[in-house]
Amino acid sequence: MQQEKGDSLVDGYVSELWEFTRISVTQNNLQELKEIWDQWNDEVRQLFYDNYGYFPYLLDVKVDKRLFRTLAQFWNPAYNCFTFGNVDLVPTIEEYMALLRCSKFQVDRVYSRVVNVPTFSKKLMSITGMSEQWVAARIKQKGDSKCVPWRSLKDAILTHPDVRKRLDIFTLSIYDLVVFPKALGHVDEAVTNLFDRLDKKVTPIATILVETFRSLSACRKTGEGRFIGCAQLLLTWFHSHFWKVDKVSYQVFSENYSPLKEIVATPRRDDISEEKWMAILQNLQEEDVEWRAPWLLPDEILYRCGNFDWVPLMGIWGAVGYAPLLVLRQYRSRQFIPATYGIVVCEFSYKDDGYRKKIQDISSAWKQTHRMKRLVVGPMTSPEYHGWWARRISDNTPKLNQEDSQSIEEHLRVIPSDLEIIKQDFERRNTNLEKKIEQMESEKTNLRLDIDVQKLENEKLTKEKNKADEELGSLKTDYKKLRLSIRTAGLGKTSEQ
């Protein structure tokens, strides 16, 4: 297939991407959302998990801005994947499904923008259960879209008598403030279009991927911009592929297991500079990658739809092409040369001319999804793959630096500052002094014990000497008495005679 049609880019292509992308990853303040979630009991939380998945764990993900800004430099818009050194990686539908884990979503029921939709006010009335007057008073125009300040929804979450309505409004807030943070501090009309379809078991996963890919590509093409995808989920995915796991927990087979919860609870360094991250990712080798995330279980791979050679995805603001065949090793399957022709021209915005016809084509394609079983026999790559990868025309991403061949562990080894070196030297000397003091104290104690033993010995000898002197004195006295008795006895005998 690839040999017949070619790659996403053709010979002669000249990349127009900037050498460096100044990307902003400004986030909403999520503290109030976290406080609301923390107030709810286990029963309410379980109701949320059952209906909407594990999205609340995203509230606890710390966004490492240095890492994220570096990641963006490696986004390859021509193939909609990250290209690190000699490695292609991309978040997949199956991975995001496993992270957010909601059985209610059906993977083949994807979001499609429809023409005749209820008005923004009617959707908000349905979601919040509030009156038309209440909703109308809070709708504002922000840029090119209609929005509602999140603080208005916060009040509704805290005061609404219906638990299910509180959950719905809370979920909409997460989608707007965390997953699609386009209008900071506001709920965007486009997001309510997606939320309105969740009850029909439409999966939000593909939509999340689309807006992640589109936002990264837009920033790379203009050389700057603010990321409006879900940074928390993307960083969680990244960490799952770069820290080796010795053993896989049996809990991954449990219905209530959340890999997202486990990853969030794992402590991570956040003091690594952008320069250090750049050196790490620029020189990434195949052996540095945890190819299949330890929590990913599915054996089937969605790899194409309809007549497309890959998977077209629709978001809330536009559409992109996505090629899971690029990253078969992420499924622990054998990597061969993937079909990528046409991906680069698949991306479009819902503001472009002719977008409705394209939406119809993609919707029709999703009625014919194709899956394949993962292939684990033989080497992890086909003999032709590495040759193709080296020859393919790619977009402008940081190239491999042959002069820097350090491993990830060597890169992340902490190099102490002068002050830290002095501090460590002082602590080392202090430790040695403490050991010497302990040794001297021990010797002093032993000397005291020896002195005490000597004293006891001396006292014993003194007592024995005194006793011997007493016995000797007693013997002398007895001897004198005996001599006197003998003498007296001798005198008496002579007188009688």
Q: Report the run of H or E that residue 225 belongs to, with start and end.
A: strand 224-226
Percentage of the residues of the chain whose pLDDT score is greater than 70: 90
pLDDT at 496: 44
- pLDDT for 307-345, tens place per residue? 999 999 999 999 999 999 999 999 999 999 999 999 988
Q: Which domain holds residue 10?
A: 2-27+63-117+196-412
Q: State residue 460's pLDDT score.
A: 86
CB 232 within 8 A of CB 63: yes
Q: Domain for residue 138, yes or no?
A: no
In a domain, 41, yes or no: no
**What pLDDT score does 26 carry?**
95
Distance CA 399, CA 368 (A): 38
CA distance 322 to 335: 16
Higher-pLDDT residue of 429, 179: 179
Residue 284 is predicted with a pLDDT of: 86
Q: Are 201 and 225 in contact, with CB atoms under 8 Å apart?
A: no
> What's this model's pTM, rounded to 2 decimal places?
0.79
Task: Answer with the residue of higher pLDDT: 131 or 15.
Answer: 131
Copy the structure tokens of residue 218: 């837009």
Query: What's the domain count of the chain?
Result: 1
Task: Kindly state the average pLDDT of the residues 161-167.
Answer: 93
Euclidean distance between CA atoms 429 and 406, whole angstroms: 32
Mean pLDDT of 162-191: 95
385, with CB counted inside 10 A (0-12, 13-18, 19+), is middle
pLDDT at 40: 96
DSSP state of 319: E
Does the residue 324 lie in any domain? yes
pLDDT of residue 236: 96
Q: What is the mean pLDDT of the chain?
A: 87
Residue 142's pLDDT is: 86
Residue 56 lies in a domain: no
Per-residue confidence (pLDDT) for residue 482, from 0 to 100: 87
pLDDT band at 138 (very low <50, low <70, confident <90, very high): very high
- The neighbour count for residue 437, using CB atoms within 10 Å, is 10
User: Residue 497: what pLDDT?
Assistant: 44
C-alpha–C-alpha distance, residues 40 and 51, integer Å? 16
Please check whether residue 89 lies inside any domain of the structure. yes
